[in-house]
Structure 1
């Protein structure tokens, strides 16, 4: 396995992660949501201040997906109610389609087993068809839909998907 997970812990790590998040979000989500909503969401959820708050006060953990010393993406997770919430899972454009998402999912599954967590769940935009297809291929099933008001006149229109973890 080429991919390792490196926890983002220092201020420099968090700044680097926030920069990567902004790059990925503006490159990827412009076909799904407006530029204004991306700007709002990056500031609200993926800025340095937001990530620091999530890791210090809300129980989130952030990891770089690292391949041979290079950070190629990141993920954010949170344990809750015996399950793992996969809050963020993003890979830089030039590294997509190389099997890294599958490797990261294997590492997350191992983490769940080690922590005795029964499933991984996530939310995904209902119009993000390619990502939904990837999650389905990885064993996730849609369990419900949800529309969440995130402020400033914006909503997240998502599927909630879950994958059971075998003992």
Structure 2
């Protein structure tokens, strides 16, 4: 069965995305940043309430990659002054290296064509880009480079409770 992209808009769907985030983050990020920071970040940034608020109040668009009825990956993005911020792009461990992350990025490209013309800020941007932050120790950096992203900066962000995110900022031009 082919992977299908589903636009997330209901509270129940946000609950499913949050469950998927719990699974992915605990598996992938615990060795990188530790269990306490993973739990903190999940509660602060990936709770069902936060995801729903991001969609309903903060201009985010979320998609789930579905294998039949099962959510196997997700994408969260929003337009901003640079172009499109890719806030979330995650795939379950057993579904990685099957082209799902690429499909999620292709969905971001489709969304950029819909979102950018509607935002008056983007009419003044000469070279809009996709951009994201990625932990410096995350092996997903290789994937992002493969699809056209480049490291453009480094940032250490205090996220509270004594935790920081030590990230690269990566960018990729948006073709109009």
The TM-score with structure 2 as length reference comes to: 0.87
Q: 2:130 aligns with which of 120, 134, 138?
A: 120
Match of 1:6 in 2: 6
Deviations 1:83-121 (A, max 9, x none): 111000110111001111112222222322343473211
2: distance between equivalents of 1:14 and 1:153? 28
Contact (CA 8 Å) 1:123, 1:161: kept in 2 or not? yes
- With over 3 angstroms needed to count, the CA separation of the structure-2 counterparts of 1:82 and 1:154, relative to structure 1, is closer
Q: Structure 2: which 5+ residue stretches go unaligned? A: 117-121, 123-127
What number of residue pairs does the alignment pair up? 166
Match of 1:98 in 2: 98
* Deviation for aligned residue 1:20: 0.8
Match of 1:154 in 2: 163
* Deviation for aligned residue 1:82: 5.3
> Which structure 2 residues correspond to residues 20-31 of structure 1 after superposition, within 5 A?
20-31=20-31
Q: Structure 1: which 5+ residue stretches go unaligned? A: none
- With over 3 angstroms needed to count, the CA separation of the structure-2 counterparts of 1:83 and 1:37, relative to structure 1, is same
2: distance between equivalents of 1:105 and 1:21? 17
1: distance between equivalents of 2:33 and 2:113? 35
- With over 3 angstroms needed to count, the CA separation of the structure-2 counterparts of 1:67 and 1:133, relative to structure 1, is same
The TM-score with structure 1 as length reference comes to: 0.92
2: distance between equivalents of 1:37 and 1:112? 31
2: distance between equivalents of 1:57 and 1:33? 29
Q: Secondary structure of 1:32's partner? A: helix
* Deviation for aligned residue 1:69: 3.8
Match of 1:71 in 2: 71
Q: 1:133 aligns with which of 115, 118, 142?
A: 142
Task: Please report the RMSD computed on the Cα atoms of aligned residues, expressed in angstroms.
Answer: 1.7
